[in-house]
Structures are given as C-alpha cells and as structure tokens.
Amino acid sequence: MNYSGAKKPNIETVYQQYADMLYRVALSTLQNDMDAQDAVQDVFIKYMSAKPDFKDEEHEKAWFLRVTVNRCHDMLRSRKVRLRLHAESEVEPVNPAPKARQELFEVLHSIPEKYKSTVILHCLEGLSLQETADILGISLSAAKMRLKRAREIIKEEEKDV
C-alpha cells in the first residue's frame, strides 16, 4: 500500500480490509468453503512474497481481486484434471450453504466461467462495470456483453425449469 511514500500497513490490517470480500469472490467461484479459504490464503501468501507497490487504494483492491479470480480459475482447472484422473462425477461442498446461497451457486454453476467472474464482481461485489473490466483485463464493452450474455443464460435456465 505504498501510496505516495506512505508506510506499508502490516499484514493484519490488509487482511482485515480484504479477506471477507476475497472469500466471497472465491466461494462464489469455487462453491466450496475449504477451497475458498485456501484461495484467500494463497492470495495473501502471494501478497506477502511479492510485496507489490500500489498507486492508490483502487489499484490495491483491483490487484487483490484479480489475483483471487486468477487463483480460483487455476483451482478450477486443477479440480477438473483431478476429477478426470479419478473419474469422480461431482465434487460436493464440504460445508453446504444455506438454501438461498445454494440456489445462487446453482445459477452461477450454470453459466460459463468467463461470464461467472463478471457476474460475481459486478453483481455480487458491487463493482462498477469499468472496475470489473479492469480487474478482468477486458474492455468495458466486453464486460457489458459478458454480463448481458450471463443474464440471457440465466433467463433461459429459468424458462426450462
């Protein structure tokens, strides 16, 4: 957090500031409590080892979100490889979520990964479309299109039910 030469805060302060938000993003993506906790832990380990300097608080927040989304995608890819190797049909959440949260996870599970990240950051975390685009490394118009397509997929799913 080196904004204009300010002293870096200790890890506890940074953890308190971002941990809950990063956990929500990870849980929404991974749909598994233990994996989400692991992802957040990995992000903070990377933060401590990389010791990045940030221009401002928005840059810092974007870094944490981007690293979290990337880590979750890596974990999902790894999970798919493990599932193929072990021929398991489905990974069950270790700590099942309450009914409303479980329904949200089911909806998120029904949309492709590239749309899911946009929905999580914009709709669940309340980031603007521009912030979402910046974090995902895509253009604003691409973020808008991904959100539109995600909504279309969700509406189609609701029709089929």
Q: How far apart are CA 87 and CA 72, in angstroms?
A: 22
Domain ranges, ordered by start, for the chain: 1-96, 97-161
Rounded to whole angstroms, the Cα distance separating 81 from 84 reads 5
Alpha-carbon distance 78 to 98, whole Å? 26
Taking only the tens place, the pLDDT of each residue in 59-91 is 899 999 999 999 998 888 876 655 554 443 344
Residue for token pair 């539109």: 148
pLDDT category of residue 156 using cuts at 50, 70 and 90: confident
What is the distance in angstroms between the CA of the first residue and the CA of the last residue of the chain? 47
Name the residue with higher pLDDT: 127 or 86. 127
Q: If one looks up domain 1-96 in CATH, what number appears?
A: 1.10.1740
Residue carrying the six token digits 């690293």: 67
pTM score above 0.75: no
Please give the average per-residue pLDDT across 96-118, as a whole number.
73
Would you say residue 93 has pLDDT above 50? no
CATH number of 97-161: 1.10.10.10
Assess whether the region 1-96 and the region 97-161 belong to the same CATH fold.
no
